[in-house]
Structure 1
Amino acid sequence: MTEKRPPSSASHNGGNCTPSPGASTETIDPAEETKLLGKLDLFFVPIIMAVYLSCFLDRSNIGNVKVAGMPEDIHATSQQISTAVSIFYATYVLVEAPWAIALKKITPRILMTALCVVWSLTTIFSGFITSIGGLYAARLVLGSCEGGLFPGLNLYLTMVYKREEQAKRVSYLFVCTALSGAFGGLLAYLILKMDGVGGYAGWRWVYIIEGLFSMLVAVMVWFGLPNDPTQAYFLNERERELMQIRERQRAQYMGEEKFSWEEVRITLRDPKLWFSGLIQFCQDILLYGFSTFLPSIIESMGYNSLQAQYLTIPVYVVGGGSFLALSFASDRLTLRSPFLVFANFFGIVGYALMLSPVSNGVKFFGTFLCAIAAYTGPGMNITWLNVNVAPHHRRAAAIGFQQTMANCAGIVAGQIYRSSPYTLGNAFSLGAIGVAQVMIGVLAMYIRRQTRLKERIAKGELEDTRKVRTGDRELDFGYHL
């Protein structure tokens, strides 16, 4: 049942200001909406999680095969393997903004399925490389495909869910990042036991089997993600009507369908983008360094290569579980920065422990604390940007450019984790958290200042001299702090 709501409410904008005249005043019965959200999650979330899980598996499995004899078989030095880790991001960062902006034009279904198919084939063929040159080529192709996935999935989530529903759903992506580490470590541990089967080394089977898994996921994407979520195949007539109401409620957030270069120019002049990009760069130093080199870090503590694979599993589970819990609280309170700062404090303690002259057991405990910051930080920050930029094409550009800046961290991570006991990498990561904490404070102050400016203009205390007054700059668009 739909009804009219009082014009003083602006809950769909996440703020406390009066909605704009064009905003929808239709509401949905909470019980109906809860049921609808449950159905959306049931059908969309497993597919989105599976595709991101496969993506991160194929990206980070180089860390698993590094300790399983791959460098020796292709006659690669430790420095060359670090270069292979870094070179992935050379193409990755170049394509993120273009893929994000092109998502609606190409359509989500075609774009994400095509990218998934190409990187799956690349992963399978990585199992047959014989030289460092082959590994470099495979990593470059992998980066050019995977660079479009994370911005694309984030934008797809904004096409389905409201602003106050997004942190929980973004958390599912980063839970997959953690699961890929846990699952990847377990899978690698099991697959490596196939060493010699068919005349192939165990590390080659890691690539082949994980690539075949990704190919199955590509089929799921093609059949499971409709281009228009409001007309999804699994919705009945009433549920499609409810989706249309939700779409009208989010009209201010989504904006016009037609692409505009002016929205891109507005994005590039928005301080929120640049502050967020710097924060994300620092947080991704942790994420990429930690997720790629954790088996090597644990091995440097005195464990053998197989132990290093399965000991990563509980660490990744803690990292993913912590973000899941914090994201639920973040959505409920519509607060982002406090949870980001809170999670980073665990990382500061964790890296400090790994750098201290303590027992290996204590250092291993430190990896659990680092995991909380490594997985919560990037996801919470991208959510913070998602909910504070509108309309769609402005947000698409913001996510693309933010990820372009942020993923340069992958190039850095591959160079700072060079050799055991990885003091340089851990120290650099600790410093990155410190810088991130400062930048989070700066961005929070900027958002608070913009909110107060809007309030004063709305009350008539100040003349509105701003050049941009649309999308998230509208007076009734409430920012999330």
Structure 2
Amino acid sequence: MASSPPRSTSLSEKKDSDPERQHESFLTDNMTDKPTATGAGAETEEVLDPKAEAALLLKLDSVFVPIIMLVYLSCFLDRFNISNVKVAGMPEDIHATPAQFSTVVSVFYATYVAFEAPWAILLKRLTPRVMLTTLCVVWSLTTILSGFITNIGGLYAARLVLGMCEGGLIPGLNLYLTMVYKREEQAKRMSYLFVYTAIAGAFGGLLAYLILKMDGIGGQAGWRWVYFIEGIFSILIGLLVWFALPNDPTEAYFLNEDENEEFSWEDIRIALKDKKMWISGAIQFCQDILLYGFSTFLPSIIQSMGHDSVEAQYLTIPVYITGGRFFMALAFLSDKLCVRGPLVAFPNIFGILGYILIICKTSNGVKFFGTFLCASAVYSGPGLNLTLLNVNVAPHYRRAAAIGFQQTVGNTAGIVAGQIYREKPYLLGNAFSLGALVVAEFLIAGLWLYVRKCNRRKEGIGKGEIEDTRKVRTGDGSWILGIICEL
């Protein structure tokens, strides 16, 4: 494996005849601060044959993507099964009021957001295999033990532990992908992760539907079996991670020497002052209102349309599948065109229309159709917005901090989601989600204008037309590197 060639691209071959895209010719594959020469005598990196690169990319996908997707599936099954057990009678069995059960959803994100940035920063030092396996096993055991809960206090405790562990997953896996793939390949791989979020919703609904038929077996309620079986499944995934992921990605064949960076507090400071990260975090917050409210309460939303608890479980399946397929199509298009921002904004239009149909006095059939429109925005917005941040921040520890803090800001939406979806027909929650999508559209436009302004300034500095007064000139702040996927 160590003999595999680096996936480098000649700078001269990255030039584009389109004047609007010529700034991309200054970019290296991984946004490292390598000295770059220009002119006839310029040195270029060795070019990997396109066929060999395609073969290597296929190898990477065949090894890493299935593992990462399964971990993601495990995480979201264990997180969102709270929606399945809610309609299966858990609140009544543990004597929880509707308000207390809403707090259960919110309390998960208290520890979730607190641990996201630290886990992201520690990923490289702890190594992905060790960190992800440990977190997966702990949250799996917590899920199994949730099946023995008898009161609301026990459920609070379980959700706090679950949040602490799962807080490291999205930043960790996202950062891992940036170590493996080039920027123009990341949206597609990010779509695989978020598609598995949709699959988790669909599969979770189907699995819950089947498991709930075990009600009474062994003297246990059906919702307890949901926790038992899904927890055991997650432990098996954790063991797969241990044996299948490289112990240290900095020593894996797919990375070059320049990516073996030392930890830098300065990069973390720069990330915290980066306007891109904060605007992206605000967008993520708005998009996550939809992601967590819709994903957590979809069975309850459908049940409020007049369906019983069993129907509510299996009717979620086509909705989740629609959302996942829509996002995958947009992600492939995003990588192909190297466009992010407009494709973050586009599916929100469907989400806005969907919530209007659900909120207005329409028939239950029309409201159910509205859930499909909402699903089109559920995964596309958060996934592509995160990809946009990935490709615009470097080097590693600056990106790690940016991802971690962006996710911290965004995932506080989970706390809000638990409080706005309390009582049927969930008018407050749906109206709040609608408003969040509208705000997101304005924020996306603002981020587009800001990044565009930064790029134009870099181009001017590179041409000697503008005086360079910037304080940060390394990583994504370098005019030589520019920003490959402006939006």
With structure 1 as the length reference, what TM-score do the two structures score?
0.94
> 1:193 — aligned with what?
213
> 2:330 — aligned with what?
326
Which residue among 391, 394, 399 is the counterpart of 1:390? 394
Do the aligned partners of residues 21 and 213 (structure 1) sit closer, same or farther apart at CA in structure 2, a change above 3 Å counting? closer
- One-letter code aligned to 2:145: F
Q: How does 1:250-399 map to 2 (within 5 A)?
A: 251=258, 254=259, 257-399=261-403
> 2:39 — aligned with what?
none
| TM superposition shift of 1:2 | 9.3
Which residue among 106, 116, 133 is the counterpart of 2:126? 106
- One-letter code aligned to 1:478: G
Do the aligned partners of residues 306 and 277 (structure 1) sit closer, same or farther apart at CA in structure 2, a change above 3 Å counting? same
- One-letter code aligned to 2:315: L
- One-letter code aligned to 2:430: N
> 1:216 — aligned with what?
236
> 1:18 — aligned with what?
26
Q: Deviations over 1:353-400 (max 9, x none)?
A: 001111100100000010010111100100000010000000000000
| TM superposition shift of 1:147 | 0.2
Distance 2:399 2:22 in 1: 16
Do the aligned partners of residues 230 and 102 (structure 1) sit closer, same or farther apart at CA in structure 2, a change above 3 Å counting? closer
> 1:38 — aligned with what?
58
Kept in 2: contact 1:179–1:320 (CA 8 A): yes
- One-letter code aligned to 1:45: V
Gaps of 5+ in 2: 28-32, 37-43
| TM superposition shift of 1:26 | 1.6
SS in 1 for 2:288: helix
Do the aligned partners of residues 470 and 88 (structure 1) sit closer, same or farther apart at CA in structure 2, a change above 3 Å counting? same
Distance 1:313 1:15 in 2: 44
Kept in 1: contact 2:93–2:150 (CA 8 A): yes
SS in 1 for 2:47: strand
Do the aligned partners of residues 4 and 209 (structure 1) sit closer, same or farther apart at CA in structure 2, a change above 3 Å counting? closer
Distance 1:18 1:219 in 2: 42
Distance 1:43 1:368 in 2: 32
Does 2:441 match 1:441? no
Do the aligned partners of residues 230 and 397 (structure 1) sit closer, same or farther apart at CA in structure 2, a change above 3 Å counting? closer
Kept in 2: contact 1:17–1:476 (CA 8 A): no
Do the aligned partners of residues 75 and 6 (structure 1) sit closer, same or farther apart at CA in structure 2, a change above 3 Å counting? closer
Does 2:75 match 1:55? yes
- One-letter code aligned to 1:127: G
Does 2:445 match 1:432? no
| TM superposition shift of 1:8 | 3.4
Q: How does 1:81-92 map to 2 (within 5 A)?
A: 81-92=101-112
Distance 2:34 2:95 in 1: 67
Question: Quick one: percent identity of the two aligned structures?
Answer: 68
> 2:155 — aligned with what?
135
Do the aligned partners of residues 3 and 467 (structure 1) sit closer, same or farther apart at CA in structure 2, a change above 3 Å counting? closer
Alignment RMSD, CA only? 1.9
Do the aligned partners of residues 462 and 134 (structure 1) sit closer, same or farther apart at CA in structure 2, a change above 3 Å counting? same
Kept in 1: contact 2:77–2:200 (CA 8 A): yes
Kept in 1: contact 2:345–2:444 (CA 8 A): yes
Which residue among 93, 99, 119 is the counterpart of 1:79? 99
Distance 2:15 2:147 in 1: 51
Kept in 1: contact 2:10–2:46 (CA 8 A): no
Distance 2:168 2:423 in 1: 31
Does 2:170 match 1:150? yes
Does 2:181 match 1:161? yes
Do the aligned partners of residues 79 and 273 (structure 1) sit closer, same or farther apart at CA in structure 2, a change above 3 Å counting? same
Do the aligned partners of residues 11 and 389 (structure 1) sit closer, same or farther apart at CA in structure 2, a change above 3 Å counting? farther
Distance 1:122 1:2 in 2: 41
SS in 2 for 1:28: coil
- One-letter code aligned to 2:295: S
Kept in 1: contact 2:359–2:430 (CA 8 A): yes
